[in-house]
Structure 1
Amino acid sequence: MKIINLNVNGIMQAVDKGFLDWLSAQDADVVCVQDIQAKSYELPDEVYQPEGYEGYFFDAEQDHFSGVGIYCRRMPKAIMTGLGFELADREGRFMQADFDKVSVASFLMPSGENPAEKQLFMEQYLEFLRKLRRKRREYIICGTWNIAHKTIDLADWQSNQNSIGFSPEERAWMDQVFGPLGYIDTFREINRDADAYTFWPAGNDDRLRSEGWRVDYQVVGPNLQKAIKRAWIDDSVKFSNHAALVVEYDL
């Protein structure tokens, strides 16, 4: 099963830059998109239901803001939206597609422009992740977590130790996710290299200088550890200031 996640930073902007042609060439089973910044009912048919895919979206209440989507090759058994708390659900930050043995989720963490709000979100989301571990179903959570976990995940980490997205509190929160809760960072399970980034704050020009952050993840529970076969970042994708994360699973 080949799964891709990509923060498009506005899906219609990405379409104008070739997103649909790229999508048709991926031969992916599931493509999760974040920060669609559009109302799904306003999307043209070729964006909502591109050839070969079923599209599903969860919109933010606010116009031109946030929102997530999932493109599926095969129709899922069910689609579920929301995390059950207002801070997430009014901004369209989580949805999942349920298949026979696994659910694939598209997720967008707040960036942290309001640090107190992001901290509250993280506390509520951590409780959700705890409950998820008790379910019998396996989950693959794909998206922009907006935190670089380790120093290897950030080019200029020395200058950013108190920056939003790399603060001690945020990194400690990620330690809980990948520590006591038992979740696995699929990319780091396969690839330990430095200079592997998915986001460039100043835009695509930063890619030439490799001044990036790795804030986009595919996260799974320990039962899927052996199912992770390949993982790589496609930084040739330039529809936004994020790269695509691609992971192949033997499911």
Structure 2
Amino acid sequence: MKLISFNVNGIRASATKGLRGTLHELDADIVCLQETKATPEQVKEALEGLDGYHVHAHSAERKGYSGTAILCREEPVRVDLGIGQEEHDQEGRVITATFADHIVVNAYVPNS
């Protein structure tokens, strides 16, 4: 299995700078994106044309702030948004995908 993690610092801006082509070339089974700064709908729009992935995203309540996404070739059995604590979950920093034989946790964590 090939898994990559990438801080996109704004998925819409990254999409105009070749993100889809890069992800296509890397051909990963699972892609974890951080700092998407977009709603789930905007994440899907930004990745339009990147075939073969199921896209799941968690956004911040504040527009244009943080956000995470998981792209996966295999559809997860379950996707959980956040960690179950409202004060933290409103920032869209954690998304968890549960598969039949593994779990992927994508977290965008501040460095301070």
TM over 0.5: yes
Flag the 1:44–1:3 CA change in 2: closer, same or farther, 3 A: closer
Give the Cα separation in 1 of the matches to 2:2 and 2:22.
15
Q: Which residue of 2 aligns with 1:121?
A: none
Letter in 1 for 2:108: L
Residues 1:107 and 2:104 aligned together: no
Flag the 1:67–1:49 CA change in 2: closer, same or farther, 3 A: farther
Q: Which residue of 2 aligns with 1:55?
A: 55
Residue ranges of structure 1 left out of the alignment (5+ in a row)? 112-145, 147-163, 165-251
The percentage of aligned residue pairs carrying the same residue is 35
Give the Cα separation in 2 of the matches to 1:91 and 1:43.
16
- 1:228-247 aligned at under 5 Å gives the runs none
Structure of larger gyration radius: 1
Give the Cα separation in 2 of the matches to 1:103 and 1:49.
26
- 1:1-251 aligned at under 5 Å gives the runs 1-43=1-43, 45=45, 47=47, 50-109=50-109, 111=110, 146=111, 164=112
Give the Cα separation in 2 of the matches to 1:48 and 1:90.
26
RMSD: 1.6
Residue ranges of structure 2 left out of the alignment (5+ in a row)? none
Give the Cα separation in 2 of the matches to 1:95 and 1:72.
13
Residue deviations 1:196-234 (CA, integer Å, cap 9, x gap): xxxxxxxxxxxxxxxxxxxxxxxxxxxxxxxxxxxxxxx
Flag the structure with higher helix content: 1
Letter in 2 for 1:99: F
Letter in 1 for 2:105: A
Letter in 1 for 2:89: D
Flag the 1:91–1:32 CA change in 2: closer, same or farther, 3 A: same
Residue 43 of structure 1 and its aligned partner are, at CA, apart by: 4.1
Give the Cα separation in 2 of the matches to 1:14 and 1:98.
27
Query: 3-state DSSP class of the match of 1:97?
Result: strand
TM-score (norm 2): 0.91
